[in-house]
A and B are shown apart, each in its own frame.
Chain A
Amino acid sequence: MSLDLLVAILMTVAGAATPLLIAGLGELVVEKSGVLNLGVEGMMLIGAVTGFAVATTTGLPVLGALGAMAAAALASAIFAFLVLTLMANQVATGLALTIFGTGVSALIGAPFVGITTPTFGPIFPEALTSSPLLRLVFGHSPVVYLGLILTLAVSWFLARSRAGLILRAVGESDTAAHAIGYPVLKVRYCAILFGGAMAGLAGSYYSLVLTPMWAERLTAGRGWIAIALVVFASWKPGRMLAGAYLFGLVITMELQAKAAGFNMFAPEVLAALPYVATIAVLAIISAAKRGGANAPACLGKSFRATA
């Protein structure tokens, strides 16, 4: 295999991993605060279509990504209001959010099917990407670097910052946090909004960078992989990075196998590969840890303030 091809493959891995990483980091923060938001897929689709619409209309992909974050955060605000203020069931509401996002994105996206959008330019000068090895370091989309920076930022935030400590405390014992005097619901609102913005950014990566076009159900269930990755990562940002790149590799293998004319199985079998891997990973982890001993203790529970 030539060096060029190898570098191309590795760059595809980074590309496939980045949206999983970003959406997964968002969901990780949400779950650390004690909320389970199963609406990641829906928020990603809303982000994807909004990003595409804004970018094609204004011609500015950066504005598209920001719009995607805002739109998905808005969708997550609806979720937050339902599960926090109205104390609706988090699982059911999250599933509803995914269905809602799928429908709304198809509706908004209808006029945009079949056209292309401007995408992000390289951030490093061309001289730096002349050789394959340099390209591997400097040749990615800016969002790929953003994903790595976010991993460090979230990791530092949760482990070292005071706000992160309070967020973990709220997810660990909402009643104790409330008794000490921390605003449990406010913390959870913030976490959910952050998770929404991250899902939106991840979604816009599909419509603006990976396949600069819009199609219905563009994210093809990747939001579910992001949720599974949170468990895979045992709620740790560093492992989230490893997990996302591992799944990026699986997704790339599927594409490469198809491109190489590997037709021992039907193409549908290959396409199912990442999802089969998701289920396998979850099953192995649950068996090894008896249901994820590292999970935040209040995950998925509603909180009602008393006294």
Chain B
Amino acid sequence: MGAAARAPRLELKAISKRFPGVVANDHVSFAVPAGAIHALLGENGAGKSTLVKIIYGVQGADEGEIAFDGERVQISSPREARALGIGMVFQHFSLFEAMTVLENIALGMDEPPPRRELEARVRQVLDTYGLSLDPYRHVHTLSVGERQRIEIVRALLQQPKLLIMDEPTSVLTPQEVEQLFETLRRLASEGCSILYISHKLHEIKALCQSATILRGGKVVATCDPREESARSMAELMIGGSLKALSDKSGAAKGEARFVVASLSAPGEPPFGTSLKDVSFEVRSGEIFGIAGVAGNGQNELMAVLSGETGKGVTGSIHLDGAELSRLSVGARRRAGLASSPEERNGHAAVPAMSLADNAILSARSRMGLASGGVIKAKAARDYAAKVIEAFSVKATGPGAAAGSLSGGNLQKFVMGREIMQNPAVLVVSQPTWGVDAGAASFIRQAMIDLAAKGACVVVVSQDLDELLELCDRLAVINEGRLSEPMAVKGISIERVGLLMGGIHGVGQAGAKPEAGVRRPTADARQPEPAL
């Protein structure tokens, strides 16, 4: 027993996992002591998720062994992992929208106790960790942070010895992140080890005592993040020096070119958010950011700006003085308003069609890829080839199916397809979501270059860091209302966080809460008092 107490909580010894054509994990070894918060750091595709799936028993390793509390273990299913005391909070929640919090928790347990007992235990966990959550609320009325709390409670109820958190902060407001960190620190102080997977370096510096950095499936470094700089870790992660974005000073000086005024629209059923009196202006050469937690009207705003939604829309959209809000998608594109939605596969591009055909879909009128209803195949291939070349898209050529490209490459193609049409306004949603750091940096630079030519760029993103790096000004969308825009230089992160969390009226006039019309969720999104 004495030896086991000193042995690390989790130890991986030379774990390897191969898939056809790729080595996902190549002799990965590291150890997490009891009560430690250990970071697993790496880009998309570095092998983090495969490794985590092996630890949680979703996949089996080809080679290597796992020791838990000093004893060699075989974990062949999530159930066995849970029995050992391994809990996991997934990046994409497995929650049932129309069911209550309590029902969701019961569904996630192997042998749930009777409802009363479960409720008592849930309330006890909530009290102990200062989390606020109503067990009888339906999930679709909860904010993303509250949904994550369900997953955390679900994991904590099994009294885990090791908690795996997979990219837990990607959708949280800064305040919610701080609250999550408090919970995790407290858990660690009670002896629970935490394996924290992320690519957000400043969070890892703030939270973790040790870090393992993966690149191309191999461990490239193990370090103490508190003693490294964010830059040095980033360079270890991507295996090269990080190219800084070019300075964007000198841009954003013209007059307002793209003016959106009092835009309102109904939400998409069944649980959509309606837009309420959204107004903003973008000057020539300016990059304008729209921050916010997912599901606060971003999709609806994108659909209204691109022209996909016309029904029930009131307000106006002006580009260089011309009114666009009654025009179709195609007419808006001809007028110079290009857009790229959040979902690449199936919305921005048709996966089964070639890149050339996908180019025709959005660029046919501006680039003359069709005339009189007849497609010009050669022009389309040439245009697609030009995009592939200019945006260094890794593809076999214009004939490659869009679905065969990796996420980052398809996103580069989609962005290139829009940007090379020289639009007057580019509206994009989540331009670098799920894209590796190299491609993300390339896409951001392309948007900066487009703005430098005098175009207006509107970026809707949940990644606040991205917006702070990219934008001249930003506004926050919450419950379908847009805050007053703020200059990014000297911005208060705390205030942005409060706006994202739904505190209206913090020195901002844009949002006028309609008395009595607010959905119940509005109240639920008030931040809880500090722990």
Q: Are B270 and A172 in contact (CB under 8 A)?
A: no
Cβ contact within 8 Å between A180 and B269: no
Determine the chain B residues whose CB is within 8 A of the CB of A222 once the complex forms. Answer: none
Contact A169 B96 (CB under 8 A): yes
Q: Is A166's CB within 8 Å of the partner chain B?
A: yes
Binds A, one of B27-35, B102-110, B461-469: B102-110
Q: Across the interface, do A165 and B107 meet the contact criterion of CB distance under 8 Å?
A: yes
Q: Which of A131-181 contact B (CB under 8 A)?
A: 162, 165-166, 168-169, 172-173, 175-177, 179-181
With both chains docked as a complex, state the minimum distance between the C-beta of B60 and any C-beta of chain A, in angstroms.
Answer: 13
- The answer to whether A172 touches B96 (Cβ under 8 A) is yes
- Which of A85-93, A197-205, A252-260, A289-297 is the interface stretch? A289-297
Q: How far is the CA of A175 from the CA of B94 in the complex (A)?
A: 8
A residues 268-307 with Cβ under 8 Å of B?
290-291, 293, 296-297
CB distance from B169 to the nearest CB of A (A): 21
| Cβ 8 A contact of A172, one of B78, B79, B90, B98 | B98
Chain B residues whose CB sits within 8 angstroms of the CB of A291 once the complex forms: 269
Contacts of A180 on B, CB cut-off 8 Å? 94, 107-108
Q: How far is the CA of A175 from the CA of B92 in the complex (A)?
A: 11
Which residue, of B96, B103, B106, B269, has the highest number of chain A Cβ atoms within 10 A?
A: B96
Number of interface residues of A (CB under 8 A): 19
- What are the interface flags for A219-231 relative to B under an 8 Å C-beta threshold, 1 for contact and 0 otherwise? 0000000000000
Interface size class of B (residues with CB under 8 A): 10 to 19
Closest to A294 in B: B98
Closest Cβ–Cβ distance, residue A297 to chain B (whole Å): 6
Chain B residue with minimal CB distance to A166? Answer: B107
Chain B residues with Cβ under 8 A from A172's Cβ?
96-99
Pick from A162, A165, A175, A290 the residue with the most CB of B within 10 Å.
A165
Q: How far is the CA of A177 from the CA of B94 in the complex (A)?
A: 7
- Say yes or no: A176 contacts B96, CB within 8 Å: yes
Interface status of B95 (Cβ within 8 A of chain A): yes
- Assembled-state Cα–Cα distance A45/B106 (Å): 40
B112 interfacial by beta-carbon distance below 8 Å: yes
A181 contacts across to B, CB distance below 8 A: 77-79
Q: Which residues of A contact B97 (CB under 8 A)?
A: 172-173, 297
Query: Contact between A173 and B270 (Cβ–Cβ < 8 Å)?
Result: no
A290 touches B269 (CB 8 A): yes
Q: Within the assembled complex, what's the spacing in Å between the Cα atoms of A182 and B270?
A: 26
Residues in B with CB closer than 8 Å to A162 are: 106, 112
Once bound together, how far apart are the Cα atoms of A150 and B77, in whole Å?
38
Main secondary structure of the interface of A (DSSP, over half): helix
Cα(A108)–Cα(B99), bound, Å: 45
The tally of CB-CB contacts under 8 A between chains A and B is 46
* Contact present for A169 and B107 (CB under 8 Å): yes
Residues of B within 8 A of A165 (CB): 103, 106-107
Interface hub of B95, B112, B270 (most chain A Cβ within 10 A): B270
Establish whether residues B94 and A179, one from each chain, have CB atoms under 8 Å apart when the complex forms.
yes
- Which B58-99 residues sit within 8 Å CB-CB of chain A? 77-79, 90, 93-99
Q: List, in ascending order, chain A residues with CB within 8 A of B99's CB.
A: 168-169, 172
Q: Chain B residue with minimal CB distance to A296?
A: B98
Q: How far is the CB of A271 from chain B (nearest CB, A)?
A: 37
By the criterion CB–CB under 8 Å, are B269 and A176 in contact?
Answer: no
Q: Across the interface, which residues of B come within 8 angstroms of A179, CB to CB?
A: 90, 94
A182 CA / B110 CA spacing, docked (Å): 10
Report Cα–Cα, A245/B79, bound state, in Å.
46
Which residues on A sit within 8 Å (CB–CB) of B270? Answer: 290, 293
Find the A residue at minimum CB distance from B95. Answer: A176
A296: B residues at CB distance < 8 A: 98
CB distance from A41 to the nearest CB of B (A): 29
Greatest chain A CB density within 10 A among B90, B95, B107, B108 is at B107
**Contact present for A173 and B79 (CB under 8 Å):** no
- Chain B residues near A166 (CB, 8 Å)? 107
User: Chain A residue with minimal CB distance to B111?
Assistant: A162
Which residues of chain A have C-beta atoms less than 8 A from B77's C-beta?
181
CB distance from B349 to the nearest CB of A (A): 21
Q: Which residues of B contact A168 (CB under 8 A)?
A: 96, 99, 103
Chain B residues within 8 Å of A177, by CB? 94, 96, 107
Closest to B99 in A: A172
Question: Could you mark each residue 108-132 of chain B with 1 if its beta carbon is under 8 Å from any beta carbon of chain A, else 0?
Answer: 1000100000000000000000000
How close is B512's CB to chain A, nearest CB, in angstroms? 26
CB distance from B212 to the nearest CB of A (A): 25
A293: chain B residues at CB < 8 Å are 269-270
Which residues of chain A are within 8 angstroms of B90 by Cβ–Cβ distance?
179
Q: How far is the CB of B140 from chain A (nearest CB, A)?
A: 10
Per-residue CB contact flags for chain B residues 191-228 toward chain A (1 = under 8 Å, else 0) read 00000000000000000000000000000000000000
Q: Determine the chain A residues whose CB is within 8 A of the CB of B106 once the complex forms.
A: 162, 165
Chain B: which residue is nearest A178 at the CB level? B94
What residue of chain B has the Cβ atom nearest to residue A292's Cβ? B270
Cβ-closest chain A residue relative to B269: A290
Q: Give the distance to chain B from A168, nearest Cβ to Cβ, in Å.
A: 7
The closest CB in chain B to the CB of A291 belongs to B269
Q: Determine the distance from Cα of A182 to Cα of B94 in the docked complex, in whole angstroms.
A: 12
User: How far is B520's CA from A281's CA once the two chains are assembled, in angstroms?
Assistant: 30
Whose C-beta in chain A lies nearest to the C-beta of B115?
A160
Nearest Cβ on chain A to B59's Cβ, whole angstroms: 9
A169 to chain B, nearest CB (A): 5
Contacts of A175 in B (CB 8 A): 94
C-alpha gap A21/B174 in the complex (Å): 53
> Which residues of A are found within 8 Å of B103, using beta-carbon distances?
165, 168-169
Given A179-B90, A181-B79, 14 more A-B residue pairs with CB atoms under 8 Å apart are: A168-B99, A168-B103, A169-B96, A169-B103, A173-B95, A175-B94, A176-B95, A176-B96, A177-B94, A177-B96, A177-B107, A290-B270, A293-B269, A297-B98
Jot down 12 A-B pairs with beta carbons below 8 A, ordered by A.
A162-B106, A166-B107, A169-B103, A172-B96, A177-B107, A181-B78, A181-B79, A182-B107, A290-B269, A293-B269, A293-B270, A296-B98
Q: What are the 7 A-B residue pairs with the smallest beta carbon separation, nearest first?
A: A176-B94, A179-B94, A172-B96, A173-B96, A169-B107, A172-B98, A169-B96
